[in-house]
């Protein structure tokens, strides 16, 4: 399942588009960034309400080590806001971001049916 297919099937609103052809193979839910950093699987859709610059950094830490997340996309749930400087950095570093009014639980349930 690609980011684009998730977007179409779950009616997600695109906020930052870098590479929506990227494959999503897993899903992770979490808002405590230091926790997510060590645990989110690579190529996952990361569901969070944290739309700040640090979230973008967490999502791009792929080159660091395998224990750090390299997420396929961030999905901001419950229409959580994306900060302006976070949007800027996401554009710069190629982080896919989408948003939905659904909460994490409902979205994760839907994603589990698709991947």
Partner 1 sequence: MRELSLNVMDVAQNSVRAQASLIRIDVTESDREDNLTISISDNGCGMTDEQVQQVIDPFFTTRTTRKVGLGVPLFKLSAEQTGGSFEIRSKVGEGTVTTASYVKSSVDMTPLGDINSTVKILIQCNPDIDFVFFHSTDTGSFTLDTRELREVLEGVSLDSPSVLEWIGDFLEENTQNIYGGALS
Nearer to partner 1, 50 or 107 (CB): 50
Pair of tokens at residue 97:
């971001």
Nearer to partner 1, 9 or 93 (CB): 93
Burial of 71 (0-12, 13-18, 19+ CB in 10 A): buried
Contact positions toward partner 1, by CB under 8 A? 32-35, 37, 52-54, 56-58, 60-61, 64, 89, 93
d(CA 115, CA 6): 9
CB of 100 to partner 1, least distance (A): 22
Nearer to partner 1, 64 or 109 (CB): 64
């Amino acid at each position: 399942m690609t980011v684009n297919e998730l977007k179409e099937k779950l009616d997600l609103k695109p906020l930052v588009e870098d590479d929506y052809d990227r494959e999503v193979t897993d899903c992770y839910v979490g808002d405590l960034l230091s926790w997510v950093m060590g645990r989110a699987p690579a190529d996952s859709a990361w569901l969070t309400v944290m739309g700040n610059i640090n979230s973008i950094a967490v999502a791009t830490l792929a080159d660091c080590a395998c224990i750090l997340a390299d997420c396929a996309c961030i999905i901001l749930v419950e229409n959580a806001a994306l900060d302006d400087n976070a949007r800027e950095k996401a554009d710069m570093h190629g982080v896919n971001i989408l948003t939905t009014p659904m909460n994490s639980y409902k979205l994760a349930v839907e994603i589990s049916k698709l991947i």
